[in-house]
Structure 1
Amino acid sequence: MSDGLRVLGTAAHVARLLGGDSSIHSLYGPEGSPVYHFLTRYDEADAEAMLAVAEGRKGTLLELACGSGRLTFPFLEEGFDAVGLDMSPYMLGLFAARLEEEKEDGADYTGRVSTIEGDMTSFSLDRTFDFITLGANAISYLESDQRASLFDSVRRHLSADGRFLMTLIEFPGIEERAESFETQAIVATGADADIPMLLTLLDYVDPVEMLRSSNFLAHRVEDGDIIDTKIFTALSHVLPAAPLRAEIEAAGLRVLQQHEVVSQFQIQASFAITPKIYLLEAAL
């Protein structure tokens, strides 16, 4: 069920066609999590950018909103010890499954990584970390008071010479635009995938409300036939980089650099405004 999930743009019309709220599900819920995992597992752009900042250093990592470990595993490969924190038990289940996959492939991270089901906006782990990461534009899902609490929690958990690394997506010049815009794309899993699906991305941006509605119309396929159709959705804020830098500084952290990140998976390239991905690097 939708549990009050808000869907904008073409996806809202499709939802009505499919029967309304019963067709809408969270992208991070029990059925949406595998879809998100499939779509993001091999997008390594922000992980590569973060590891470039960390080059030559080893230590400890805390990945906030870790999901299935898209950032954690590259850091583990480089010799870091890691903790992954996420509030979705379904995403943490995928994290555990990936740990087993890695073990079968000869990479046993037992004893070097753990996961915690928790809220990234307010956590207390009684330790500090050399690197704290927040990827995949996850900051955009938070309200201003939640962001302030997150940055405060980060400050309290960052080591004296540690780094907080956060990626965000910015739509340059969006404040000057009055009309909404949308991009659409089709992605298909392999026929031999665990969950064979035909996915249609319906990604809608409202520059007046400064909201982004990312929706995946998922047709589940079995033996060549569509057996189920659902919409998996996530609603986020459109946040320019400059105010976020100010919020980070207000929490007692120093923004050292803003790096541009180039991704091979930029489906967003067909937006009316081409988005940019930035990595903000902050310290105490």
Structure 2
Amino acid sequence: MSTITADLTGFPEALRSTLAEEAVRAVPDVQVLDMYSEAGSAVYHDFTLADASEVPELVRAVRSTSGPVLELAAGSGRITLPLLAIGRPVCAVDLSEPMIDLLSRRLEQAPQRLARACETVVADITEFERPAQFGAIVVGTTSLSLLDADQRARTFARCRTNTLPDGRLILTTSVLTGTDDERIVTVTGASGATYQVVDVPKPAEGSRWTVVIAQGGARPMALWSQIRLLSAEVLAEEVRQAGFEIVDQQLIPGERYSSVLLQASLRNAGRPRGEHS
């Protein structure tokens, strides 16, 4: 019987002595990587492709607006394609070139009317600026949770600049609604591959960690990510500081984590468009 060994180089200290470490140590020759690394992007795309959480609510909110749509941190297009199906032009922005490449390949296989309506951009969402061009700006849960307070402030300042006077900022944030117990589940990706997903909530630290173990490739991978748990109250205040006012708030229930959807409009639509907070 062979001895199981695992190289935990790169494994976050915050996950030591957790169910995640136990699961990763059980995989021989595993490679530990950031979830959003180039190698991890294809796995992330595969196991989230069928995840429809928040999508109907976000699409419904965008339908109530008019004009082009800007999606920030679009990734491989989990939300992008449903937005395109509304029949509106979408500008999909993400910092990760591998993710945008995955989205571009999905668009190549989509109906031409959808592909023609989508512009993909590799850019930092804290710096992306196209003044007064968008009737709706969409930011999904995980996107904001990966940013610190300063990065969120810069992102919202750009959103204010980029929004049409009657436009909406539409965003979601994740809240822990179940227990804070660690758990491991098996998830089947869009390709049919199976993944072990380990969930490690850290409510005292205001975050949760996810480790996805993929064993179908040439070498097993353990992909980790840390997501900040941003309360709706904190996020709403940050949005107000950027010059918006909250016009709607909705709870989207979930088994383990729920989401809160916030919609905001410009507080002073007549302000000069190039002015930042």
TM-score normalised by length of structure 1: 0.81
The separation in 2 between residues aligned to 1:56 and 1:134, in whole angstroms, is 16
| Partner secondary structure for residue 62 of structure 1 | strand
Task: Find the counterpart in structure 2 of residue 199 from structure 1.
Answer: 195
Q: Cα gap change, 1:136/1:39 in structure 2, threshold over 3 Å: closer, same or farther? A: farther
Summarize deviations over 1:29-80 as a string: whole Å, max 9, x none. Answer: 2222122212222223422112222335442000000011222211211110
Unmatched segments (≥5 aa) in structure 2: 1-6, 267-277
Deviation at 1:96, TM superposition (A): 0.5
Identity of aligned residues (%): 27
Is the CA contact (8 Å cut-off) linking 2:65 and 2:167 kept in structure 1? Answer: no
Is residue 12 of structure 1 aligned with residue 3 of structure 2?
no
The separation in 1 between residues aligned to 2:84 and 2:200, in whole angstroms, is 35
Q: How does 1:99-248 map to 2 (within 5 A)?
A: 99-102=107-110, 106-172=111-177, 181-189=181-189, 193=191, 197-220=193-216, 227-248=218-239
Q: Cα gap change, 1:208/1:123 in structure 2, threshold over 3 Å: closer, same or farther? A: same
| Superposed structure 1 runs of 4+ greater than 6 Å apart | none
Summarize deviations over 1:241-269 as a string: whole Å, max 9, x none. Answer: 1111111111111111111224xxx5xx3
Q: Cα gap change, 1:53/1:108 in structure 2, threshold over 3 Å: closer, same or farther? A: closer
Is the CA contact (8 Å cut-off) linking 2:130 and 2:161 kept in structure 1? Answer: no
Unmatched segments (≥5 aa) in structure 1: 175-179, 222-226
Is residue 94 of structure 1 aligned with residue 91 of structure 2?
no
The separation in 1 between residues aligned to 2:9 and 2:96, in whole angstroms, is 15
The separation in 2 between residues aligned to 1:19 and 1:95, in whole angstroms, is 32
Is the CA contact (8 Å cut-off) linking 2:212 and 2:224 kept in structure 1? Answer: yes
Bigger mean CA offset, 29-38 vs 244-253: 29-38
1:54 to 62, 73, 89: 62
Summarize deviations over 1:160-217 as a string: whole Å, max 9, x none. Answer: 110111111112599xxxxx63121101347xx3xx6331111101122222111101
Q: Cα gap change, 1:3/1:125 in structure 2, threshold over 3 Å: closer, same or farther? A: farther
| Partner secondary structure for residue 54 of structure 2 | helix
Task: Find the counterpart in structure 2 of residue 25 from structure 1.
Answer: 33
Deviation at 1:108, TM superposition (A): 3.5
Task: Find the counterpart in structure 1 of residue 258 from structure 2.
Answer: 276
The separation in 1 between residues aligned to 2:9 and 2:161, in whole angstroms, is 34
The separation in 2 between residues aligned to 1:151 and 1:256, in whole angstroms, is 16
Q: Cα gap change, 1:231/1:122 in structure 2, threshold over 3 Å: closer, same or farther? A: same
Is the CA contact (8 Å cut-off) linking 1:134 and 1:167 kept in structure 2? Answer: yes
Is the CA contact (8 Å cut-off) linking 2:47 and 2:188 kept in structure 1? Answer: no
TM-score normalised by length of structure 2: 0.83
